[in-house]
Structure 1
Amino acid sequence: MQIGDRTIRAGEGAVCMLSTANRDGSVFPWGDQLDVERDARRHLAFGFGVRQCLGQPLARLELQIALETLLRRLPGLRLAVPFGQIRFRPNAVVYGVETLPIAW
């Protein structure tokens, strides 16, 4: 199998890091920046094609309901520290933050 300029031979392994793919600058300009209005329809968080997660619509609906409810109930919700002080977990399987200090 040829991927870009790399050949993967029979019996060799490969690891797909979806969190890295979803930050690919050739697909998502400024992929390292949070942009809730970004057109991210081509992300790989739920797989793709025949391997696409069947729970994708439910997960998206749950997240939409949770975020809308949180922001409605806590309208003054904000970071308790400057964004630059937030520590991210760059080498984790699931990309995220170490802690997220908030205030309201």
Structure 2
Amino acid sequence: MASSLALEATEDVTVGDHRVRAGQRVVVSPLAANCDPSLIGDGSALDVRRRPVPHLTFGFGVHQCLGQQLAGLELRIALPALLRRFPGLRLVVPETDLRFRVNGPVYALRALPITW
């Protein structure tokens, strides 16, 4: 997914408190939209119990990724299988020592040191 998109308004529209006139160009960031605190709260914390929220990770509408359902299915199968195979799976370092990539198009762990 692109880190930002330049779009041109085809008609006058109001987005939040902002009026965009037909012909004006707007730069939007799907990545920033995925981190909206009004949807996810503290985005810096991994919360596997967080309620499902809308996001743009797999695109939207006619531009939705065809692999989205496959990715979801893989996670529903792979994670339980991993935990069954390695029931003692755990972090090698304290959770507070985990470091994240924050200056790229994808927010992700730099490394996930584990043992079983």
TM range (shorter): 0.7 to 0.9
Contact residue 102 and residue 108 of structure 2 kept, 8 A? yes
One-letter code aligned to 1:38: R
Look up the match of 1:70: 82
Among 35, 45, 48, which residue is 2:57 paired with? 45
Which runs of 4 or more aligned residues in structure 1 lie more than 6 Å from their structure 2 counterparts after TM superposition?
none
Q: Distance between the aligned counterparts of 2:71 and 2:53, measured in 1? A: 15
Query: Per-residue CA shift, 1:39-87, capped at 9, x if unaligned?
Result: 2241211111121112211110012211111111011111110111111
Relative distance call for 1:103 and 1:27 in structure 2 (3 A) is same
Look up the match of 1:95: 107
Among 3, 27, 30, which residue is 1:14 paired with? 27
One-letter code aligned to 2:27: A
Q: SS of 1:70's equivalent?
A: helix
Provide the alpha-carbon RMSD of the alignment: 2.3
Structure 1, gaps ≥5 residues long: none
Q: Distance between the aligned counterparts of 2:19 and 2:87, measured in 1? A: 50
What is the number of residues matched between the two proteins?
Answer: 103
- Normalized against structure 2, the TM-score is what? 0.73
Q: Distance between the aligned counterparts of 1:88 and 1:31, measured in 2? A: 12
How much has 1:8 moved relative to structure 2?
A: 8.5
Contact residue 90 and residue 115 of structure 2 kept, 8 A? yes
Structure 2, gaps ≥5 residues long: 1-8
**When you count strand as a share of all residues, which structure comes out higher?**
2
Q: Which of 1 and 2 has greater Rg?
A: 2
Contact residue 89 and residue 97 of structure 1 kept, 8 A? yes
